[in-house]
Chains A and B, each alone.
Chain A
């Protein structure tokens, strides 16, 4: 294979020590996953069983999207629900029946657990089973937890996908299962690349609609497109499917390595692989080099948010010429991000979990050129004179695979570009 990439580091970060701190976490809970999952799964409804806080969180995070006939809502627990739990089951059944009556297009219903429902130990698994029987075969009811006490931000998607795995039909077919919700346009590009390599039997989890032919079995090989899917990985393992470890498809290098891992697994001819990937690789490199001009030689500091931090740090350091000071992740699953850690040169502090005040202290001392953080921190840090890139956009925007590589670098360089352009002092 032609290899024009940055040489591998002598030692990667796989065995580097990880700074673990606990204290205030400035992160979203797993409920926020609903906001992109409901766009992807077009016949699913996500019913959070929680409090007014959960409803308020979803509407704050969903912004204006909330009014495009959203397929999610919150069954808000009231005083009376807390008093007697038997009652809560009946209440839930009633609300679900009313909802399904109103939305006949719904085929999959997810009961999503929250902190309040977990704390009062509302048995949503049993509720889902009962409701599944009541509304079969038209609607399938599943449950998972997106509570803050158990899940951080993107882990909500992991919990959701993992809840679907045990009920997938069994198949003995040799197939590739690509796991992780991607924007449709990106998913189509990926499927196209795979099919050009002669890998035709490809399924995607989550599928766009419930009535697809998704199945799993011992001859299934699966690969993740998102680094936060540790739980789904385990669930698929239990169904006998085989994990293909790979770096995540960010940037030219990440995408190529990811595709190569699939190609190896399916015995794709090397010349074919090169033919298929040659043109898009060149395009991606060109696009990255244009966008990354402003990033070259700059330092970056990641606050924990989505678990995308490690693969993104790998992309920024290896393909955009940046240096990483700290790479914070809410959770580091080495079985998932190991290949990315191998590629990440030793040096940056790896941190897992958070004490936000102490992390802010470290960040202020380091004075990075670019800080990747959440929206609660971005403006305050900007006001302190630090350039920030708000991390949530990296989850909502198409950033995977070749054609988005330039956009991905662009997301990071835009901040620096803007700061270079503004001449605000002169205007005063």
Chain B
């Protein structure tokens, strides 16, 4: 047993739901108790889909336990076929049904439904959502795709985009455009918007673009083995990765590499003097392995940030993420416990977090700016506007998204110069993160009635074990003058500096000696 408050991933049958909902003409019969239908609202509310997910739940209740649940499954599967007339069906069990051992696959086979029925084995007590999606797509492809003659001109399949995927909708558009610029058209995009019939045509493509390893890798590996289709290994997120992706596609296909950069703005924006203040901003990255790896490269090489830590929640990606962390000279954090992530962020006291919905909450709590780079995400990250992460426009989107929450360069100077100013005082918080902002004490503002006593925002205090060290008054006062967003780091550095030298008190001099010591 493991106590959990927040989970980065749902159970594996939610992954299967993501595949089924992404597709058309497919129906999922899920052996599950009343209540498991909650997952529908992830699609109808977070992704704002205008139709019900194509799922029938058997909805067994306590009184059905015993012999009746098997019958219930058969009735539900029969009714679902008759009502929806799908091209193919997938059947499986949720975590509770797994315990009652009804074998949906075997039962469905016996029924002899007039369409392909694919059984899913999703171990609910070992694996999670991403595995569920990956395995479901793999089973669909394995059962439906067949070797066939390649198309006359060069075509590719896009593999991996699902329902509830972070920016999958727009990434498809962007990658399709990248390929078109090289004279390559898309054969089938799966599972997003594909039908089971489309899956039978997968074999006609010359190669596969693996867009999201988390949800498409098993299918790509199978097609490589069985259909002789190579697949791309580079995820085109960021300028460098997009260039590498184009080169990789050129090598696979023999097509001329061609990247239209007329709309690419990230490199110039990042080079312009306005961005100088971004240099060396200390960032922490967390999310799914793919997005973290891509974001780390963008952060360091294209934005000029310093990556101070990175990690992922999906252990399927633990190995590449560990290797990546090593290359960046930081320690990898592989965990699905948000408390571990919060702890690490506190320790590192970064100036910015790139993470999931969860890290956004941690950032709010600690007063650290945050941008979202990975699922799980909430409704605001399924935007109405075009906002891919991949390709040329993706790079532009990333630049804006990441810079937005940071205190602008000019604002940073103002904060420093006018720290006693009534609007730019340093408790005001970063411009787009008003959550930590507090009014100055009323008595400091001449001409205003003193209101109720203020509750100053809790300052992010990095955890330290230097509790034996005391700050002298003048040093504490000076520390307060340092802008709040670097104060945590200054405090930590000074305490470490003092501890290493066996000092028990921090004076003004110690503060500045430490500052000189850590100057970069």
Contact = CB atoms under 8 A, between A and B. Distances in A.
Interface stretch (A115-123, A193-201, A277-285): A115-123
Interface in A374-405: 374-380, 382-383
Interface string B20-61: 000000000000011111111110110011111000111111
A257 to B, nearest CB: 33
B1 A149 contact: no
B37 A27 contact: yes
Contact of A29 (B2, B6, B10, B35): B35
Interface in A238-290: none
A192 interface: no
Contacts of B378: 63-64
B59 A79 contact: no
Contacts of B13: 53
Given A24-B56, A53-B124, A149-B61, A60 B34 contact: no
B65 interface: yes
Interface string A76-87: 111101100000
A82 to B, nearest CB: 6
Nearest to B64: A149
Interface string A29-66: 11110000000000000010101110111011101101
Contact of A60 (B42, B50, B56): B42
B83 interface: yes
B99 A60 contact: no
A57 B38 contact: yes
A166 interface: no
A381 to B, nearest CB: 9
A378 B44 contact: yes
A20 to B, nearest CB: 13
B35 A51 contact: no
Given A116-B99, A147-B33, A376-B40, A383 B50 contact: yes
Nearest to B361: A67
B250 interface: no
A393 B95 CA distance: 28
A148 interface: yes
Nearest to B123: A79
Q: How large is the interface on A (under 10, 10 to 19, 20 to 34, 35 or more residues)?
A: 35 or more
A91 interface: yes
B492 to A, nearest CB: 25
Interface residues of B, number: 55
B95 A61 contact: no
B52 A377 contact: yes
Contacts of A72: 5
Interface stretch (A92-100, A134-142, A224-232, A344-352): A92-100
Contact of A82 (B38, B60, B125): B125
A357 B44 contact: no
Nearest to A73: B5
A116 B35 CA distance: 13
Nearest to B99: A119
Contacts, number: 181
B268 to A, nearest CB: 35
B5 A66 contact: yes
A378 B43 CA distance: 12
Nearest to B14: A56
A383 B9 CA distance: 29
A115 B3 contact: no
B48 A118 contact: no
B95 A51 contact: yes
Given A55-B7, A60-B38, A77 B59 contact: no
A131 B3 CA distance: 17
A150 B50 CA distance: 31
Contacts of B1: 49, 75-78, 81, 88, 91-92, 94-95
A118 B3 contact: no
Nearest to B379: A63
B62 A55 contact: no
Contacts of A148: 33-36, 61, 96
A49 B2 CA distance: 10
A116 to B, nearest CB: 5
B11 A376 contact: no
A115 B37 contact: no
Contacts of A53: 10-11, 13-14, 36, 94-96, 124
Interface string A359-386: 0000000000000001111111011000
B99 A24 contact: no
Given A56-B11, A77-B1, A120-B99, A115 B125 contact: no
A202 to B, nearest CB: 32
Interface string B172-187: 0000000000000000
B341 to A, nearest CB: 12
A99 B4 CA distance: 11
A379 B11 contact: no
Interface in B120-157: 123-126, 128
Nearest to B55: A24
B59 A24 contact: yes
A152 interface: yes
A31 B45 CA distance: 20
Contacts of B6: 55, 59, 66-67
Given A31-B35, A52-B124, A74-B3, A357 B83 contact: yes
B125 A79 contact: yes
B51 A383 contact: yes
Contacts of A92: 1
A417 B262 CA distance: 46
Interface string A1-36: 000000000000000000000011111111110000
A28 B35 contact: yes
A121 B58 CA distance: 21
A81 B3 CA distance: 13
Given A25-B37, A51-B11, A51-B124, A74 B62 contact: no
A99 B58 CA distance: 35
Nearest to A75: B1
Given A56-B7, A75-B1, A149 B41 contact: no
Contact of A376 (B10, B41, B96): B41
A52 B37 CA distance: 15
19 contacts: A24-B37, A49-B1, A51-B124, A52-B95, A53-B36, A55-B7, A61-B38, A67-B358, A73-B3, A75-B2, A78-B126, A81-B125, A82-B125, A95-B2, A120-B99, A376-B37, A376-B40, A376-B41, A376-B44
Given A148-B61, A375-B41, 4 more contacts: A24-B58, A53-B124, A66-B5, A78-B125
